[in-house]
Amino acid sequence: MHAISRRRLLRQLVALTAGGWGTTLAGRGARAAALRTDELWAHDAAGLRVSRGPWPTPAALPPGVRFESLLLRMPDGVRIAALLFISTRVRGGPKAPCTLHVVPYRHSPDMGAYLSMGYLAQHGYAELYVDVRGTGGSDGVPTDEYSVEEHEDTVRIIEWLSKQRWSNGSVGMYGTSYSAFNSIQLASEYHPPALKAIFALCGTDDRYTDDIHHPGGIMLMEDNSWALGMIAFSAMPGAPDFELDSQAAQDRWNTPPWLHVYLQNQLDGPHYRRGSLDTDYSRLTTPAFLGGGYLDMYQNFVPRIMRNSPAVTCGILGPWHHSMTWPGPVLDWAAIWRRWFDHWLKGTDTGMLAEPRVSFYLPEWRRQKFRDAGAIPGEWRFLDHFPETAFAPPDRLYLRPTPELPRNTVLSMDPAPGRGGALSELAGEPSALKLQYHPSRGGSTDSFGPDGDEGFYGLDAREENVWGLSFDTPPLKAPLEMLGFAQAHLYVSATAPLANWMVQVYDLAPDGTTYLVTRGFLNGSHRRSHTHPEPLVPNEIYAIDVQLMCAGYRFSAEHVIRTVVTNAEFPVVWPSPYPMTTTLYTGGDQSSFVALPVLPPLHYREGHLPVLADAVTPGKHWRSDDGMTAYQLTRDLMTGDATADFQMGPDRLWCRVSDRDPAIASIQVSSKDVLTPEGAARRLEARAEGVLRSTVDTFAFDIEVTLLENDRVVRSRRWQDSFRRELV
């Protein structure tokens, strides 16, 4: 996904279903009413002081639901903004279980395009929506994502919820992306006694490799726009009054951008280990429902946590992007979410634990285009656990050049793109293939997670495949099904001290089109460790292992499985800085291969998921005002310079690299966040204009941030800094 769109997606995410998250206050024409003056139902507890918040009650609320805008004062005096939706049945009726949703994307009572607030309250729950410290309407400063202060606030809020007079003492955390991350982190690192269950979509168990940072130790390129765009978003004063001259607004304005933290932590270490579950899965004992999409970058955590954690878990994998809806099938996530919490928070036997724990979709080939709201053909399968083949695929396909020349002959030849050969069950004689590095190639037909508004993943990649080393099976005689993590074991060398390797698996259809199924990344200097990388010795042969992202797929008969080995995926990942040639060694005792997680014969269980539609209907299941309106890739054939230009709503993004000098790469962003406070003749706008660029040994950013009121500049400042490049 282009990351600016992800930021807007996470704030404006449509209701994921028509029956639950699809019912919105905005859709019912909600308007703010006067501020309440009656007594708050929320009260002081667990060391937190409660006062009335600034948000008025929406005029249109779901029946039987009460709303309260709250400020929760932490022990250090910081006030955290929260919105409470609570069932009116708690007065004189059963006490309410509580749910908690915590994000830095500015909650408001009228977020119909984001969450269907009040849905669970209609079913006897109390729902609390919290702005992370230093964001939205909360005091404080946002020092980093998932900060210690943020989590300590959340722990206190969980205890506070459990001790309310109307609470039954049970709390569940939930959310997508950021709120999935913190749900997993709170459950596994803090273990609040009242936290009885979590529901996490698009989460992670490894913040270094499986977030928008460093897959395989390679720094992302286009997704760095998320951090750049958050500079403008975080510069906006707190809601709903947006007081420009308050101390809180000044503190927020002067807080260094998160990008500063990321560039200080280019290698794995304590910064990323905090919040990463993969170092010790036994820490998660809270029941967890997990979900991820193959078209996203946040699916790997689902099978890994379900395999390794002692917690009671259920999981779903399907062909979605970050919305967990597009392009379909459209699930009634609210129905699933409610059943999970009914079981763990209400103590109601919903039957979920007697059902299959694993639900996954096996998509099949279809012709794809940039904007496509059609369904992905395929079928659902149901199991009690992921098969071991998903993690340790036994089916090896060896990479064999065509022609399979003696290795010494190949090593004396000049490199050329577009060469490759066959995928074979036999290893062959010792040979090799050389590849000249073309940093501007490899990724123009796919993004690292499709755009959050329409999405694309499988544009025909034939023009990009020829810039790598492509290896094909013969046309399949029968369908082949896979689920899990494909793995590549490669013998490689490079003429430079730093080189990246990407392994991509495609479905090559009889009509000649190729569509991406999965891919993996590895920075060669990180072959042993992401914490202590080692430069490559030029021309020395290394054995490297590349794990590809989790995917489920069904290759049809007569289709071909293609594997591409390459060193660039522009504009997805940041180019390695040296012109170079790499060599892939094959056959003999250095036989490079890819292992596919082919599904063995299994006894599948009967199962059922609440499917609302086979495909998204624009404007119903999926709506956003920030769709991509342009995507252009231009090349200067004289200089070798390439630019990928994205237009997304009011935001624009340029990724640039030079084939002649790949060290000179950059991402430029023009981002704005515009707010028009209701009832006020004001238009507030925060702009961020600037660039993150690289040389051989540095990264540097230069960002101008401007805050305007009614088109008048209120204040502006410039953030500049440079950092040593640390083998990324």
The torsion angles phi and psi of 306, rounded to 5 degrees, stand at -65, -30
391, 487 Cβ separation under 8 angstroms: no
- What was the pLDDT predicted at 47? 97
Range with lowest mean pLDDT among 118-132, 271-285, 438-452 = 438-452
Shared domain check, 515 and 564: yes
Shared domain check, 505 and 442: yes
CA–CA gap between residue 442 and residue 469 (Å, rounded) = 11
CATH classification of the domain holding 429: 2.60.120.260
Shared domain check, 136 and 38: yes
Asked if the structure places residue 674 within a domain, the reply is no
Q: Classify residue 513 as exposed, middle or buried by CB count within 10 Å of its CB (0-12, 13-18, 19+).
A: middle
- What was the pLDDT predicted at 110? 65
In this prediction, residues 124-144 reach a mean pLDDT of: 92
CA–CA gap between residue 533 and residue 543 (Å, rounded) = 15
* Mean pLDDT for all residues in the chain: 89
The torsion angles phi and psi of 463, rounded to 5 degrees, stand at -65, -25
Shared domain check, 333 and 208: yes
Q: How far is CA 256 from CA 10, 271, 718, 723, in A?
A: 22, 17, 11, 15
Asked if the structure places residue 610 within a domain, the reply is no
- What was the pLDDT predicted at 544? 98
Edge-to-edge strand ranges of the sheet holding 96-103? 49-52, 65-73, 79-87, 126-131, 96-103, 167-176, 195-201, 288-293, 313-318, 358-363, 378-383
Shared domain check, 446 and 311: no
Shared domain check, 583 and 476: yes
pTM of the predicted structure, to 2 decimals = 0.94
In this prediction, residues 168-174 reach a mean pLDDT of: 98
CA–CA gap between residue 399 and residue 594 (Å, rounded) = 8
Which of 534, 567, 596 terminates a domain? The answer is 596
Judge whether residue 301 has pLDDT over 90. yes
Shared domain check, 99 and 16: yes
- What was the pLDDT predicted at 239? 76
What's the structural domain count of the chain?
2
Which of 596, 611, 634 terminates a domain? The answer is 596
Among 380, 728, 260, 688, which residue's Cα sits nearest to residue 523? 728
Asked if the structure places residue 17 within a domain, the reply is yes
Shared domain check, 117 and 194: yes
3-state secondary structure 4-66: HHHHHHHHHCCCCCCCCCCCCCHHHCCCECCCCCCCCCCCCECCEEEEECCCCCECCCCCCEE
> Considering just the CA atoms, what is the radius of gyration of the chain in Å?
26
- What was the pLDDT predicted at 409? 95
Shared domain check, 576 and 430: yes
Range with lowest mean pLDDT among 53-57, 289-293, 691-695 = 53-57
In a 3-state reduction of DSSP, which class is residue 215?
helix
CA–CA gap between residue 612 and residue 375 (Å, rounded) = 12
Shared domain check, 158 and 294: yes
The torsion angles phi and psi of 709, rounded to 5 degrees, stand at -125, 120
Asked if the structure places residue 238 within a domain, the reply is no
Among 521, 515, 516, 485, which residue's Cα sits nearest to residue 501? 521
Range with lowest mean pLDDT among 196-200, 380-384, 454-458, 720-724 = 454-458
Q: How far is CA 720 from CA 260, 341, 723, in A?
A: 9, 46, 11
Shared domain check, 274 and 157: yes
Judge whether residue 427 has pLDDT over 90. yes
CATH classification of the domain holding 331: 3.40.50.1820
Among 61, 58, 133, which residue's Cα sits nearest to residue 102? 133
**Banded pLDDT at 28 (limits 50, 70, 90):** very low
Residues of the chain with pLDDT > 90: what percent?
71
Q: Which structural domain range is residue 163 located in?
A: 3-219+266-355
- What was the pLDDT predicted at 681? 83
For 310-337, the pLDDT digits (tens) are 999 999 999 988 888 878 898 999 999 9
For 487-534, the pLDDT digits (tens) are 999 999 999 999 999 999 999 999 999 999 999 999 999 999 999 999
In this prediction, residues 429-438 reach a mean pLDDT of: 96
Shared domain check, 343 and 435: no
Range with lowest mean pLDDT among 27-31, 487-491, 594-598 = 27-31
Give the CA-trace dihedral at 433, 434, 439, 440, to 10 degrees: -60
In a 3-state reduction of DSSP, which class is residue 264?
helix
Judge whether residue 291 has pLDDT over 80. yes
For 68-123, the pLDDT digits (tens) are 999 999 999 999 999 999 999 998 889 999 999 999 987 677 654 345 788 999 99
- What was the pLDDT predicted at 627? 64
121 bridge partner residues? none
Judge whether residue 554 has pLDDT over 50. yes
Asked if the structure places residue 491 within a domain, the reply is yes
383 bridge partner residues? 358
Range with lowest mean pLDDT among 308-317, 414-423, 656-665 = 414-423
List b or e across 473-492, with b for residues whose CB sees 16 or more CB atoms inside 10 angstroms.
beeeeeebbbbbbbbbbbbb
Judge whether residue 21 has pLDDT over 50. no
Task: Name the residue with higher pLDDT: 9 or 359.
Answer: 359
- What was the pLDDT predicted at 618? 58
- What was the pLDDT predicted at 20? 36
379 bridge partner residues? 362
Which of 559, 580, 596 terminates a domain? The answer is 596
Judge whether residue 451 has pLDDT over 50. no
539 bridge partner residues? none
- What was the pLDDT predicted at 232? 80
CA–CA gap between residue 639 and residue 617 (Å, rounded) = 44
CA–CA gap between residue 530 and residue 517 (Å, rounded) = 26
Asked if the structure places residue 528 within a domain, the reply is yes
Judge whether residue 2 has pLDDT over 50. no
Asked if the structure places residue 79 within a domain, the reply is yes
Residue whose pair of structure tokens reads 């992905």 in the numeric block: 376
Asked if the structure places residue 155 within a domain, the reply is yes
